[in-house]
Structure 1
Amino acid sequence: MEFYNSNGIEQLEPVFWEDGIISGYRHPHSSALDCVLSSFQMTNETMNIWTHFLPTWYFLWRFVILCSTLTSLSDSYTWPLLVYMLLICVYPFTSSCAHTFSAMSAESYHICYFFDYGALSLYSLGCAMSYGSYMMPDSWVNSWLHQHFVPIAVGNSVFCTSLSCYSRSVTPQGIMGKHFECLPLGLLSKALRTAAFVVPFIFDTVPLFYRILLFFGGGSTDHLSNHCYHLLFAVLSCFLFTSHLPERLAPGRFDYFGHSHQLFHICTVAGTHFQMEAVLADMTSRRAWLTAQGATPSFLGTFGALVVSLTLNLGIIGIFSAPLLSCFQKQRRASAS
């Protein structure tokens, strides 16, 4: 595996550059095997890979334990939870794979992160399902918003994937650029990508914000501490993602340990853990009351919505990936000749 240090970073295509990261870059045309092996060597991506790969197994373990404790998978009340638990396993695993295989080429770099964004947008759908099913304020149950919460979340997931993929495609030459070789317009690209994930997050957590307001207004709510921990880590994650701190203050000092993306991964996993605990607690404690109100999830509103969203998001990823795959094939034919 070939690495690029501070004296060789100029050899890299600009698309691979990260703010404040000077050394430890992998060769931009590594094989798939080299990419896998690099996860056991110290590069500036190693900790990014493991800070999401290891938590995948923790969430998968919790998912398996949950399935083993359910009396029946035909119980529709548990379906939103099953979808949510499945998706909190998928998004860190997809992120880990994206960081692992993004060094195969400039084209693969973009495509890997297209799938990463798609997995995160599906995670936002899982959050909406669990929040809409177990966390809705009492006065909102069976309201218009409650009945349309999941369909709107499906639209948000499509918006999230579309805008985040588009943010990686904006170049000085226009959408996709002439050869997709230019560095995305930094601030605009980052702003679009941040907005792509902030919008679903705000929508998903509207019921939670309302419950917090009720609490401070003298109302009562259960399990608020885990919800607040989740919100705290969500804010920290957003800050780290957009600020590129601390590496921006001391370029080269945090190339391998402690840069913002590693901290971002840790905060997202910690936030998901607290969110999961809060969802499980609300799901258990409010079951009798929600069932009595007739607020029972449907197959179409859970697994059906997941399939629809997955299909639409894969289609969007395919649309953005097609020009890159075509460019990659042309380059391979040119090098072969």
Structure 2
Amino acid sequence: MGPWSLPGVVQLMTGCMRVQHTVSAEDTHLLFREPGVLTGFRPQNKPWAFYLFSVVQIHNESVNIWSHLLGFCTILCIMYRYLTVYISADNSHWFVILAFGLCCLIYTAISTFAHTFHSKSALIHYTCFQLDYLGIGYFSLGMAIVTFHCSCHRHFYSMLEHYLLPVNVLLSWVGFLCSSVAKLRYHRPYPFQRKLWNVCSFGFQALVAFGLVITRYWDCYLDMNCSLSSLNHHTSVFMVATISIFFFSSHFPERFLPGKFDIVGQGHQIFHVLCIVGTLLEFKAAYIDLQTYVDNFDREIVQPDTTSMFSAMVVYGMLSLITVVLLNPFTKRRVQQDIRNTRKCQ
């Protein structure tokens, strides 16, 4: 009876759907450990189906998987809702919403995949998170696209329209590359410098995107007929982004209460949830600005270039995938170093 015969598949599914056991940090390779997390780790070197079916099991990655899996579904629904409005209204900005939505779907899908399968082996772990950083770069690129075309200060359009996409494709790739190199360079327990590589690389691109909006606060402050509360939809995005960076970089609260947040409540889990909240708030901010801000512009000035946006997304994806392939020898070398270091410790 072959493994892919009907009885074999049924046996495999039955076995994988049983309650899967988890292991403690002491029984887990150092590579897979997290500060302050003591239990709930999935064992390594199991079949692919084991990790696929772990999606419906309880372990310390469950919240990370489901937060972005549900986020993917929510973003898909929100995207459909907004696209229906703009396409029916013959609004040329529908492709901006589509581009941002696709970038968000890519980052949530890749994140779900990475957190589902990274525990299989060291090589899979490194490769999964390189792809995860690729997804974050897509989100950063989508954020720049939607901010520029929907929320950018009007005086920046003519100045930046020819430079925005090339610069942000480069920034997204640099952020992806810095995060991937930092993952390969630093060993567990990771020093804070590794977080700086992540935060500073993608954080700089976020500051560039937010800089397109920030001058609107000054204009509103000078305008007696404008209330700063009219920019609350952007303020909420800034606040959620700042709080999410804190939880991403601090490992709070599990670092200070080890073992208490092994399954639910880890800083990275909170970061995941805040990422989805921030994404939905950005959709809302774009919608509000398209109704109340962009409509006051000269339509010829803000006409989106759909070909350039699509090309930028494809170029970034191809460039990053090629980089993953080029990094593969370094990844394998790092895996061998981890194996040697483990043997020395034993």
Q: Which residue of 1 aligns with 2:271?
A: 264
In the other structure, the counterpart of 1:40 is 56
Change over 3 Å in CA distance of 1:38–1:237 after alignment to 2: same
Selected match of 1:193 from 176, 193, 198: 198
Out of 249, 262, 278, the position equivalent to 2:285 is: 278
Partners of 2:250 and 2:333 in 1: how far apart?
Answer: 34
**Does residue 105 of structure 1 match 2:121?**
yes
Aligned AA (2:165) = V
- Contact 2:104 2:138 (8 Å CA) reproduced: no
In structure 1, the partner of 2:99 is: 83
Could you tell me which residue of structure 1 aligns to residue 71 of structure 2?
A: 55
* Structure 1 residues 156 and 87: CA distance shift in structure 2, 3 A: same
CA positional deviation for 1:208: 1.6
Structure 2 unpaired stretches of 5+:
1-19, 337-346
Question: Does the 8 Å CA contact 1:136/1:208 hold for their aligned counterparts?
Answer: yes
- 1:132, 1:150 within 8 Å by CA — same for their partners in 2? no
Moved over 6 A (4+): 72-75, 326-329
How far apart are the structure 2 equivalents of 1:320 and 1:237? 29
* Aligned-residue offset at 1:301: 2.4
How far residue 325 of structure 1 moved from its aligned partner, in angstroms, is 5.8
> Is 1:160 equivalent to 2:175 in the alignment?
yes
- 1:141-180 to structure 2, matched below 5 A, reads 141-143=157-159, 145-171=160-186
After superposition, residues 1-337 of structure 1 pair within 5 angstroms as: 1-5=20-24, 9-71=25-87, 76-143=92-159, 145-171=160-186, 182-183=187-188, 185-218=190-223, 220=226, 223-324=230-331
Q: Deviations over 1:123-154 (max 9, x none)?
A: 111111111112121222312x3431222111
Distance 2:293 2:164 in 1: 18
How far the C-alpha of 1:75 sits from its partner, in A, is 6.3
Task: Provide the TM-score with structure 1 as the length reference.
Answer: 0.86
**Aligned-partner Cα distance in 2 for 1:77–1:310:** 23
Please give the alpha-carbon distance, in whole angstroms, between the structure 2 residues aligned to 1:80 and 1:10. Answer: 48
Mapped contact 1:223–1:278 kept (Cα < 8 A): no
Scaled by the length of structure 2, what TM-score is found? 0.84
Distance in structure 1 (CA, Å) of the matches to 2:256 and 2:263: 15
Tell me how far 1:184 sits from its aligned partner: 6.8
Q: Which residue of 1 aligns with 2:14?
A: none
Where does structure 1 lack aligned partners over 5 or more consecutive residues? 172-181, 330-337
* CA deviation string 1:138-191 (max 9, x = no partner): 222312x343122211111111111011110104xxxxxxxxxx5374222222
